[in-house]
Structure 1
Amino acid sequence: MKKKEPIQDLFERLEGSFDTQEVPVGHQKRFLEKLNKTEQQKSPRHMVWKVVSVAAAITLILFLGSTFWTQEAPLEAELASVSPEMEETQSLFTTTINEEIQNLQQYESPETKELIDNVLAEVTHLENEYQQLKKDLVSSGNNKRVIRAMINNFQNRIVLLEQVAGTVEEIKTLKNEIDETTI
C-alpha cells in the first residue's frame, strides 16, 4: 500500500510545473465584460424558462390538488351501501313503510285525521333520525351498532304505522257498528 504524502511533500514534488506567468494587463476586465455579456444574452431566454417552469409547477400542483379534493368521501351512506343483503333489507323496509303510509291515508276520516297526522309526524321525526344515522355510518366506518340502529329505526317506523293502522281499523269497525245499530 502506498502511504499518503503530506501536502508539503506534494508541493515540493510539483514545484516548477505550476504556471506562474503574469496575467496580461486588462485580462480580468475583458473576462468580466465577456461574462456579463453572456449573462445578459442568456438572461431573457433564461428568464422565460424560469417563468415557464414556475407556471408548469403551479399548474401541476393545482391539477393534482383539485383531483384529490374532488374525491372527497361521501357525507352520508345508505344502509344499502354496506352489503347486498342490507340493500335488500333497506328496499323491503322502505317498501313496507310506503305501503303502510298509503294504507293509513286511505282510511283518513274526521275521526282518524288527528291520529294519522300525529303518526306521520312521528314517522318524519324517525326519518330525520335516520338521516343522522346515515352520516354516522360514514364517520364510524360501517360500525355494526350504527347499522343495527338504522335497522331498528326502520322497524320502529313499521311497528308504529302498523299499530296506528290497527287502531284506525278498530275505529272504522266501531263506527260501522254504531251506524248499523242506529239504522
Structure 2
Amino acid sequence: MKKDLDTIFKELEGSFDVHETPSGHQSRFLEKLSTSQEDTKKGISWWKSLSIAATIALLFAVGYSQLRPNAQKADLASVSSEMKQTQSFFTGTIAEELKTLKSFEAPETKKLVDDAMQQIAILEQEYETLKVDLVESGNDKRVIYAMITNFKNRIDLLQQVIQTIETITNFKSNENEITI
C-alpha cells in the first residue's frame, strides 16, 4: 500500500496548485460568510415561527377531536329495553358496592380504597370510549359485549377489594384476641 501511495504522489508531483491566493481573498470570503449567516438567520426565524404556528394548529386540532362536544354517545339503554334493564342492574350494583367500599374507609385501608377508585375511574373512561364506539359501529354486538364486560369488571374489582378489606379487618380483630 505504501508503494502505491508513493507512486501516486510521484505521478502527481507537478500538478498540485501551489500558487498564492489572490490579494483580498480572505476579506471577500469573510464578507460572503457573514452575509450567508444573516440570510440563514432570517430563514431560521421564518421557519421557527412557521413551525410554532403549525404546532399550535396541530394541538388545537387534536384537542378539538378529543373534546368535541358533538361526539355521539349511546349507552346500553339506547340499544333495547332489555339492555336498559341490564344497564340499570349493573349501575345499581356498582353504586351499592361503591357505598360498601366507602364505608370501609379507614387509615389502614385507605391506600387500597384509593387504588380501587383509580381503577374504577380507568374503567369508566374505557366505558365512555365504548359509548362512542357503539354509535360508530351501529350497535355492534361486540361493542355491547365489551360494555357489559366493563360493568362486570367494575363489579368484580369492587367485590375483590371489599373482600380483601374484610379479610384485613378480620385478621386484625383476630390478632387482638387471646387464644387459649
Could you state the TM-score of these two structures normalised by the residue count of structure 2?
Answer: 0.59
Deviation for aligned residue 1:128:
0.4
1:100 aligns with 2:83: no
Deviation for aligned residue 1:76:
0.3
Letter in 2 for 1:121: Q
Deviations 1:3-29 (A, max 9, x none): xxxxxxxxxxxxxxxxxxxxxxxxxxx
The partner residue of 1:147 within 133, 144, 148 is: 144
**How far, CA to CA, are the matches of 1:154 and 1:134 in structure 2?**
13
Partner of 1:113: 110
User: How is 1:1-183 mapped onto 2 (pairs within 5 angstroms)?
Assistant: 75-181=72-178
Aligned partner of residue 176 in structure 2, secondary structure:
helix
**How far, CA to CA, are the matches of 1:120 and 1:153 in structure 2?**
15
Letter in 2 for 1:159: D
Aligned partner of residue 148 in structure 2, secondary structure:
helix
Deviations 1:58-99 (A, max 9, x none): xxxxxxxxxxxxxxx971001110000000000000000111
Q: Which protein has the larger Cα radius of gyration, Structure 1 or Structure 2?
A: 1
Structure 1 segments unaligned to the other structure (5+ residues): 1-72
Deviations 1:121-171 (A, max 9, x none): 000100000000000000000000000000000000000000111000001
Deviations 1:20-67 (A, max 9, x none): xxxxxxxxxxxxxxxxxxxxxxxxxxxxxxxxxxxxxxxxxxxxxxxx
Q: Which runs of 4+ in 1 moved over 3 A?
A: none
**How far, CA to CA, are the matches of 1:77 and 1:124 in structure 2?**
19
Contact 1:74–1:138 (8 Å) recurs in 2: no
**How far, CA to CA, are the matches of 2:172 and 2:121 in structure 1?**
29
Aligned partner of residue 180 in structure 1, secondary structure:
coil
Q: Percent identity?
A: 54
Aligned partner of residue 77 in structure 1, secondary structure:
coil
Q: Alignment RMSD, CA only?
A: 1.5
Structure 2 segments unaligned to the other structure (5+ residues): 1-69
**How far, CA to CA, are the matches of 2:158 and 2:135 in structure 1?**
28
